[in-house]
Structure 1
Amino acid sequence: MTNRTINLHLVSDSTGETLNSIARATLARFEDVRVIHHRWSLVRTRMQLDRVLDGIEHEPGPVLFTLVDRSLKHALEEACARLHLTCLSPLDGVMELLQGALGTQAREKRAAQHVMDADYFRRIDAMHYVLSHDDGQGTAGIAEADVCLVGVSRSSKTPTCFYLANRGIKAANVPIVPGASLPIELENPPCPVVGLHIEVNALIDIRRHRLRLIGASGVRQDANDYIDHESVKAEIVAARRLCTAHGWPVIDVTRRSIEETAATVLQLMEAWHARRRGAEAEARAAPSDPAAAVLGTGTTP
């Protein structure tokens, strides 16, 4: 049972994604609390703010806001003070810290993170890439990938790829299917390859749910290799051995969220590129004369 219910007002002059993320991250630490979210987005005029203030007065509760317009910000703060409500702009402290460190004032620009710049189009391009290279499609396109995820069916490859695409990462995914060989492009991959592992019982539950969704609940589960315990176990073991044989790092996604899996993939990508840069630096430092190492006049690679 919940011990307390509160109204939480999120007021933004943009999409409100920043406030939603902050609220979600902080509220996850509170148990037995019911929070009613009131999301007020694209608040850019005094008339729009007046409607927000009416809503706050009708259902009072703490207010989080991100407003660039100073007059709107002051009006909201004054109204909250009059209603004896807590009001906070969570980005102000961070902004002041960075202004002090950089020695310059931040621009008063609304929705600055949502501009259609090169980064925006890179994310769109990455999303198109994931759609075209999902579940082993267009394997020749792996040459253009930033990372390739491999794993058995229903091991969260696709949602992880889409999450990475939203970060501008072109992520291909290739299923490891019993009896099927991997694409030839993965023999000498041009990008990091990461395996996704999942425990047997968790995978069976996911696959059973998948079968129910597609109307296949009538399939005899004890005769279906897709959800047979021993078959699934053998499939997972074979996939793990395949990744080990190729030297591909493996992430256990059984109890990880998509966000956590994607964060680990990004770390592994950085490590892969760091190793590659190190190898290239060593190659450049090696003597150009093959006889140098033999004669002792150069550094052996």
Structure 2
Amino acid sequence: MKRRSITLHLVSGGIGQTLDSLARACDPHFPDVDLEFRHWNLVRTRAQLRQVIKGVASEPGPVLSSLTDAPLQMDLEEGCLRLGVKLLDVMKNTLNFLEGVTGTQASEGSAGGQYVMDENYFRRIDAMHYVIEHDDGQQTRELREADVVLVGVSRASKTPTCFYLANKGIKAANVPLVPDTPLPPELFDIKVPVIGLTIDPDSLIEIRRTRLTTMVSGGNPASMRSTSYVDPEEVRGELLWAKRLCARHGWPVIDVTRRSIEETSAAVLNIIEHPNPAGLPG
């Protein structure tokens, strides 16, 4: 059966991150439909909105809106009605729901209000700088300033997870676990959570081989097989050693094999907010 194609217009007064995340989260639930996203971000004037209406007219399709400007939202509703396309005001529906459960009327918001340069914004910037300065075991003397420290073998997603956490305002350091290499003493003297990341051996070997292909001139398979970095027995032993190390020190472990960076970060945040001495299963 031929897959249907639908153009989904995402209209935002900000950078459009909320709508984009929502649309992409819904997309996999419609495997028989190709959703083609059209982003209309930073829509804050009537002239900009007229361009949106023209775009929707040229590629008719449903509209998701998170506009906070009431007159602009009304103009968008009227435009969609004329064009005969469906519109869902995501912001209004969410605010109505929260008004009901809080018993408080929502105040008027400004476009992109969640992105103002407030205390949270500067915390995210500070966290990003911290991650850069404390990546891969750098400046371990400052580990006590972290909100969380991730440990794991090479290519276990420590760095990308730290950067994702930094975008949430979390100062995350990471320390590599390398057999026969002493760990920094500061790691055992801090009060912040230390969390291990592990991964399936076969997946890790594949990731490391891909990495070596970009590093070794010509990507010679023979030279890659000769290194313990991708030797199956060595890799399994390395992962087992790392798991035992974490268990010995009571550090919870997250298996990142079938997790996206976002899911791994969510698991880290769960441990930070709800410490689990037994570690995270799976």
- TM-score (ref. length: structure 1): 0.87
Distance in 1, matches of 2:162 and 2:2, equals 36
Q: Quick one: which amino acid aligns to residue 11 of structure 2?
A: V
Partner of 2:122: 121
1:229 has 2:232 as partner: yes
CA distance in 1 between counterparts of 2:51 and 2:225 reads 59
Query: One-letter code of the match for 2:224?
Result: Q
Give the corresponding residue for 1:30.
Answer: 30
How many angstroms apart in 1 are the aligned matches of 2:103 and 2:11? 28
In the alignment, which residue of structure 2 is the partner of 1:285?
A: none
Whether contact under 8 Å (1:16, 1:41) holds in the other structure is: yes
Instruction: Structure 1 unaligned segments of length 5 or more: list them.
Output: 276-301
Letter paired with 1:72 = L
Map of 1:12 onto structure 2: 12
1:71 corresponds in structure 2 to 71
Matched-pair contact (CA < 8 Å) for 2:7–2:38:
yes
Equivalent pair of 2:144/2:190 in contact (CA under 8 Å): yes
Secondary structure at the aligned position of 1:85 is classed as coil
- Give the Cα–Cα distance (whole angstroms) in 2 for the partners of residues 192 and 134 of structure 1: 16
1:13-64 superposed Cα distances (whole Å, 9 cap, x missing partner): 1111111011011112111321221111111111111111111101100001
Distance in 1 separating the partners of 2:108 and 2:59: 33
Distance 1:48 1:2 in 2: 36
Deviating above 3 A after TM superposition, structure 1's stretches of 4 or more consecutive aligned residues are none
- Cα shift readout 1:217-264 (whole Å, capped 9, x = no counterpart): 126122111111111111101001100111111011100111111111
How far does the alpha carbon of each residue in 1:42-89 deviate from its partner, in whole angstroms, 9 at most, with x for none? 111111111111111011000011112222211111111111111111
Give the corresponding residue for 1:260. 263
- Cα 1:237–1:109, aligned 2, differ >3 Å: closer, same or farther? same
Q: Please, which runs of 5 or more residues in structure 2 have no aligned partner?
A: 278-282
Partner SS, residue 9 of structure 1: strand
Q: 2:250 aligns with which of 247, 268, 274?
A: 247
CA distance in 2, matches of 1:117, 1:222: 51
Equivalent in the alignment of 2:59: 59
Task: Determine what percentage of the aligned residue pairs are the same residue.
Answer: 52
Deviation at 1:2, TM superposition (A): 5.6
CA RMSD in angstroms comes to 1.5
Q: Is the 8 A contact 2:152 2:158 kept in 1?
A: yes
Q: Is the 8 A contact 1:95 1:106 kept in 2?
A: no
Q: Distance in 1 between matches of 2:185 and 2:133?
A: 18
**Aligned positions of 1:166-185 closer than 5 A:** 166-185=167-186
Matched letter for residue 146 of structure 1: D
Partner of 1:212: 213
Task: Output the CA distance in 2 between the equivalents of 1:96 and 1:43.
Answer: 22
1:107 shift after superposition: 2.2
Q: Which residue of 1 aligns with 2:42?
A: 42
Q: Distance in 2 between matches of 1:2 and 1:240?
A: 48
> What is the TM-score normalised by the length of structure 2?
0.93
| Higher mean C-alpha deviation, range 238-247 or range 28-37 | 28-37
Aligned to 1:93: 93
Q: How many aligned residue pairs are there? A: 274
